[in-house]
Amino acid sequence: KVWTLSHFDIGRLLGRGKFGNVYLAREKESQFVVALKVLFKKQIGENNVEHQVRREIEIQSHLRHPHILRLYAYFHDDVRIYLILEYAPQGTLFNALQAQPQKRFSESQSAIYIKSLSSALIYLHERDIIHRDIKPENLLLGHKGVLKIADFGWSVHEPNSMRMTLCGTVDYLPPEMVQGKPHTKNVDLWSLGVLCYELLVGRAPFFSNNYDETYKKILKVDYKLPDHISKAAAHLISKLLVLNPQHRLPLDQIILHPWIVAHTQ
Ligand SMILES: O=C(Cc1cc(-c2ccc3c(-c4nc5ccccc5[nH]4)n[nH]c3c2)n[nH]1)Nc1cccc(F)c1
């Protein structure tokens, strides 16, 4: 089946990105709702990322997992590449976090998100896919609030997501990447720890007002946990925010951790 733009009714803007925007869209015949991402060939060429886009499309179109956003298909014209992506009705986790009364989730809800992410990462790591850039801006909430990793390799930002630093927020970078060392799949374990902290606390563990301060805190693993965090949650975070990548708790042990088990039956 060769798709063209004329097969779709285009709706509102869902997110803005460096290489193009994402629109709500509906396939005319089936009335199936999707997210249509438009990438401009010119920008891709200028930034020399054709190979990366091809690789992303190749990888994402073959992934099938309940917590990974689907790339159903793609097509292009002279000027643009179009990605037909799964539509996530409840938007980004970043926005859902902001919408919380105290800008943070309960321990139960946080554990559910961390378990979903861990199972998606197990699936990705089995396929030697790493660094899916897990931060709240890159996580979507599908039907019934089910978490979906959408690999925003192109730093797609919702119209109102605040953390718009140069290369996306540095809050989630693990020490080995701050030091420019080669990264292994254990970078995802660090980011999972950062995310767990942020879901429970409402801000990132190493947050500060400038890059250098944040880098210093990351390299010293300098974070504090507020008193309202349970001992079990604090324990899991302490097993993920570990300087040595080899010593971080592996994914198959995360999903068996007492804090996860207690909240996700
Ligand atoms: O760029 C992405 C990932 C990606 C996903 C999305 C994206 C952004 C937003 C949404 C949404 C969505 N639902 C919303 C509901 C309320 C408010 C905002 C919403 N955004 N659903 N699905 C989406 C998908 N943008 N970019 N993949 C990719 C794959 C191959 C090549 C490539 F260059 C990129």
Q: What is the DSSP string of the chain?
A: ----GGGEEEEEEEEE-SS-EEEEEEETTT--EEEEEEEEHHHHHHTT-HHHHHHHHHHHHH---TTB--EEEEEE-SSEEEEEEE--TT-BHHHHHHHSTTSS--HHHHHHHHHHHHHHHHHHHHTT------SGGGEEE-GGG-EEE---TT--B-TT-----BTB-STT--HHHHTTPPP-TTHHHHHHHHHHHHHHHSS-TT--SSHHHHHHHHHTT-----TTS-HHHHHHHHHHS-SSGGGSPPHHHHTTSHHHHHH--
Distance 70 CA to ligand 1 centre (A): 10
Q: Among the atoms of ligand 1, which is closest to the Cα of residue 158? A: 18
Annotation says 133 is catalytic: yes
pTM: 0.92
Give me the pLDDT at residue 10, please. Answer: 98
**How many Å lie between the centroid of ligand 1 and the Cα of residue 133?**
14
Q: How far is the CA of 22 from the centre of ligand 1 (A)?
A: 6
Is the minimum distance from the CB of 15 to ligand 1 under 6 angstroms?
Answer: yes
Rounded to the nearest angstrom, the distance between the alpha carbon of 85 and the centre of ligand 1 is 7
Ligand 1, atom 1: nearest CA belongs to which residue?
152
Would the CB of 14 count as within 6 Å of ligand 1? yes
pLDDT of residue 168: 61
Q: Is 113 in the pocket of ligand 1 (CB under 6 A)?
A: no
Beta carbon of 23 within 6 Å of any ligand 1 atom:
no
Active-site hit among 133, 151, 171, 188: 133
ipTM of the predicted assembly exceeds 0.90: yes
Full pLDDT tens readout for the chain, 265 residues? 899 999 999 999 999 887 889 999 999 999 999 999 999 999 999 989 898 888 889 888 999 999 999 999 999 999 999 999 999 999 999 999 999 999 999 999 999 999 999 999 999 999 888 865 889 999 999 999 999 999 755 433 333 333 433 456 789 999 998 888 888 899 999 999 999 999 999 999 999 999 999 999 999 999 999 999 999 999 999 999 999 999 999 999 999 999 999 999 7
Contact 151 CB / ligand 1 (< 6 Å): yes
